[in-house]
Amino acid sequence: MKLIRDTWLLFARSMKATLRNPAFVILGLFQPVCYMLLFAPLLNNLAVAPGFPGGGALKVFTPGLLILLAMYGAAFVGFDLIGELRYGVVERLRVTPVSRLALLLGRALRDVVNLLVQSLLLLIVAWLLGLRASVAGVALMFVMIVLIGLLMSSFSYAIALAFKDENALSAMLNFIMQPLLLLSGILLPLSLAPLIIRDIARANPFSYAVDSSRSLFNGSLGDGAVLLGFAVMAILALLALYWAARSFRSALA
């Protein structure tokens, strides 16, 4: 009960700070909306090409764009933590009885809520552009977003506590995120890629999340790709949470 109470208190504190300055949430949605408005129409002619997944350009691109939003929307939350480290906020928490795990869970829960709001707004834009997808699949897609949000925010916090420097965090995230993006099939389906690229992409966990999300939007809820995508993301999210929790305990020891 103490963990739940502490988590809720820290979540409420983080959400109040976000609501006072919602610019981060709004700006985080700008890039995906630009992709939706300016890049998705370029795929309409490509949708009839051999190897392009069925369902139309929007039904293929929108799920990938939601994965992109979840990846990048939660990957840079560590900058806020570094700022609190610099101003002594985290140091002051060291002398309080607050649960160390709650320090992570409260923040991660705030990050997930932000992602869910952004994802809903992006889906509304896609619907206005003509997207029609499985309702059950879209609902399960939000569960996938939660898993990716927990994974990326925990990863970002762990890296932030390790480096404690914005420049180092930025360089590390850009080094990791760029190949993950290009080898995930988010922008263009990997079915269009050469065989060697598809083979390399099998090592990218987010490629399984993208395949899973596209099957969900097509209503193929029992597809093996769906189960595999959820399994991969759930395992990685748990590992990232464990790593970040240990990092918080060490930082406040």
Residue 52: both structure tokens together: 């392009």
**Residue closest to 142 by CA, chosen among 167, 166, 168, 122:** 122
Given this model, what pLDDT does residue 253 score? 64
Given this model, what pLDDT does residue 144 score? 95
SS3 55: coil
What is 114-126 written as a DSSP string?
A: HHHHHHHHHHHHH
Given this model, what pLDDT does residue 206 score? 94
Given this model, what pLDDT does residue 10 score? 84
Mean pLDDT over each residue of the chain, to the nearest integer: 86
Tens of pLDDT, residues 226-238: 999 999 999 999 9
Residue holding tokens 């748990």? 238
Residue 24: both structure tokens together: 């981060």
Element (H, E) at 247: helix 224-251
Residue 202: both structure tokens together: 């099998």
pLDDT, tens digit only, all 253 positions of the chain: 788 888 888 888 888 877 777 777 777 778 888 888 888 877 777 777 777 777 778 888 899 999 999 998 888 888 888 888 887 777 777 667 777 788 888 889 999 999 999 999 999 988 998 888 889 999 999 999 999 999 999 999 999 988 888 888 888 888 998 889 889 988 888 888 888 988 898 999 999 999 999 999 988 888 889 999 999 999 999 999 999 988 888 877 6
Residue 168: both structure tokens together: 């180092």
How far, in Å, CA of 28 to CA of 115, rounded?
9
Given this model, what pLDDT does residue 210 score? 93
Residue 188: both structure tokens together: 């263009």
Given this model, what pLDDT does residue 157 score? 92
**Residue closest to 7 by CA, chosen among 115, 101, 96:** 101
